[in-house]
Amino acid sequence: MTSAAGALDRAKIVNVVDVLAIALAAALPWSTSAAGILAGMWAVTLIALFDVRGLRDMLMSPAGGLPVLLVLFGVAGMLWADVGLAERWEGIGSFIKLLTIPLFFVHFQRSERGHYVFAAFALSCAALLIVTAFVMLIPPLPAEWVKPDNVIVRNAASQSGEFVLCMFGLFYVAADQVERRRWRLLPGIALFVAGMLISMFALSTGRTALVTIPVLLVLFVARRLTRRSATLVLASAVLVAAVAWFSAPYLRERTIQAWTDAEAYFATDAQNSSGERLEFYRKSLRFVGEAPLLGHGTGSIHQLFIVSSAGKTGAEGSATTNPHNQTFAVAIQIGLLGAAVLWAMWIAHLLLFRGLGLAAWVGLAVVAQNIVGSLFNSHLFDFLQGWIYVVGVGVAGGMVLKQRATADRKIAAS
């Protein structure tokens, strides 16, 4: 009787943990505060289900152990950072979320609700698209609610990244529905994909998203489509890109601006978005060269940039807490050893998702998007993109590991 009651209580806790993960995925496109609270609640509730053996086994695997190793490097980097304690704590705070990746793996190996997490994120992005369109279509509202880059929450770069990930998840679902000759969902998928594309191309263009789209498209075509279907999809993509380029002045302006800003920086050290980013890269290379093996310590980025910009003007006089490149953000603080762990983690996660199925595709898309985006931003250390990576990789990874364990048991039993 006691055993049955314990099993029932455990099942209830599993349900609560699942619901919190679903709520976290739904909150990510909307609110940093809500997502942070839900992430904390999820981690605390999971303690009641703590599986020592499962967690130990997960930490022994590259996919589960390398994120923790990267955090441990970050903790160690606090010891030799030549900055105050507050800066060190702020620096390690960027790493901490990675500790939850193996926890997500363990939980979603036993949960049946991983797909609900994906659906919650997709529906939340769809709701964001609908609400934004509604607000912009009512004349008095845009001035009150819409930000300069035509978004109602966060910014164009964040929203575009969310929409890209959502779109490519929907592409996989659509391909699956076509193969099964089920047409009911296709009109809705087509409508939301079209809406997200219009939003990104005509209203709220995130330039990193524009780089990510062709990478994910090639991966999708290679992973999911036949040669005939791939040819049709790629031709359609070229057509959509051409129409978008010639019909969307905002897209052209945002794209061309990146080039003209870079030219102005090289010519006059102009202080603009592209110029500052290039200057951050130049200085980052110097900082890494000064302490290549172990770095300058966790939390040292801002102080290094402040010192390097003192008395300077233009782009060279800009200081930042973010070098806008994930590899630099790690290597400056914990050296090339830390950067090697970062890339080993990304590779381990790519290999984890080398199979077939929606979970494997979502995981692959999340990792690929993060790697590409991290060439231009410190995405793992950013709140939104970092938690999208943690939740996406964690949930999809747990589902994939569960599928493989089930397949192995069937093979062993046969």
% of residues, the chain, pLDDT over 90: 60
396: its two tokens: 């999809």
pTM exceeding 0.85: yes
What is the domain partition of the chain in residue ranges?
A: 1-50, 58-110+272-414, 118-268
pLDDT higher than 70, residue 400: yes
Dihedral of CA atoms 300, 75, 380, 103 in degrees, nearest 10, equals: -170
- Phi, psi (rounded to 5 degrees) for 181: 55, 45
Query: How far is the C-alpha of 396 from the C-alpha of 364, rounded, in Å?
Result: 9
User: What mean pLDDT comes out for the span 78-90?
Assistant: 94
Instruction: Report the pLDDT value the prediction gives residue 5, as an integer from 0 to 100.
Output: 46
Render pLDDT for 122-165 as a digit per residue (tens, 0 to 9): 999 999 999 988 888 887 777 677 777 788 888 888 999 999 99
Q: How confident is the model at residue 11 (pLDDT cuts 50, 70, 90)?
A: confident
Render pLDDT for 176-198 as a digit per residue (tens, 0 to 9): 998 888 889 999 999 999 999 98
Mean pLDDT of the chain, nearest integer: 89
Minimal CA–CA distance to 277: which of 246, 318, 247?
Answer: 318
- Per DSSP, the chain holds a count of helices (H) and strands (E) of 18, 0
Dihedral of CA atoms 82, 84, 90, 91 in degrees, nearest 10, equals: 10
267 and 314 in contact (C-beta within 8 Å)? Answer: no
